[in-house]
Chain A
Amino acid sequence: QVQLQESGPGLVKPSETLSLTCTVSGGSVSSGSYYWSWIRQPPGKGLEWIGYIYYSGSTNYNPSLKSRVTISVDTSKNQFSLKLSSVTAADTAVYYCARDYRGYSGTRHYYMDVWGKGTTVTVSS
């Protein structure tokens, strides 16, 4: 079955760029039915969708983060990545990657069915 695994530094300094990678196993990031999303969760708070990428490279970002976010895909490595620039303590969170399905079986469906375990990123000097 498809599994997702986040990786990257657990500590980032304020004003620097947070960089994370999600590796997809058991499936292909090039599958046409899926977008690939990043979601984060600050300590003790709720989930926030950051954005998604399609294998073609098309993206869509949360407007509140759009000016600082870049999501990219590397189909040769079966990975997609997140960069968040100019981080502050408010960006401290658990970051999740997720498979984001868009399909049609008589009717349109959207769902996020497979999630990584999450990786904790702390912004601190």
Chain B
Amino acid sequence: QTVVTQEPSLTVSPGGTVTLTCASSTGAVTSGYYPNWFQQKPGQAPRALIYSTSNKHSWTPARFSGSLLGGKAALTLSGVQPEDEAEYYCLLYYGGARIFGGGTKLTVL
């Protein structure tokens, strides 16, 4: 049973920078897992932010960026805004299967 692991929670100050990570129980995350990142606010459907490691959708704010870092996928928020407080999920592709991480609750305080 493959497990995708994220930090359960992180706190960042407004205007600060924070990095969320996404690890695979199978080993290092590479571009071949096509890491995706989603933002979800309470009562809303997830919103896609990043795909294929570092590509942004047309609606993704510039302060969000994706990368590979130390064998994990990473989502970095630079110049955090209060409205960035949300749950963030990564998604990895394992051949035909898709597995979501457990989510990171980001608090802006």
Contacts and interface: CB of A to CB of B under 8 A. Distances in A.
Interface string A45-65: 011110010000000101110
A111 B56 CA distance: 11
A82 B34 CA distance: 25
Given A110-B51, A113-B57, A60 B45 contact: no
B52 interface: yes
B interface, over-half SS: strand
Contact of B46 (A60, A109, A115): A115
Contact of B36 (A63, A112, A115, A117): A112
A110 B93 contact: yes
A56 to B, nearest CB: 14
A47 B48 contact: no
Given A49-B98, A118-B45, A112 B91 contact: yes
A81 B101 CA distance: 25
Contacts of A14: none
Interface string B78-109: 00000000000101010011111111000000
B52 A47 contact: no
B100 A111 contact: no
A77 interface: no
B52 A46 contact: no
Nearest to A96: B45
A100 B91 CA distance: 12
A95 B84 CA distance: 24
* Chain A to chain B: the 5 pairs with minimum beta-carbon distance, closest first: A111-B51, A60-B96, A110-B34, A47-B100, A49-B98
Given A47-B103, A63-B97, 12 more contacts: A46-B103, A49-B97, A60-B96, A62-B97, A96-B45, A96-B46, A109-B52, A110-B36, A110-B52, A111-B51, A113-B48, A113-B51
Interface of B: 1, 34, 36, 38, 40, 45-48, 51-52, 55, 57, 89, 91, 93, 96-103
20 contacts: A37-B98, A46-B89, A46-B102, A47-B46, A47-B89, A47-B100, A47-B103, A48-B100, A49-B97, A96-B46, A100-B98, A108-B34, A110-B34, A110-B51, A111-B34, A111-B36, A111-B51, A112-B48, A113-B51, A115-B45
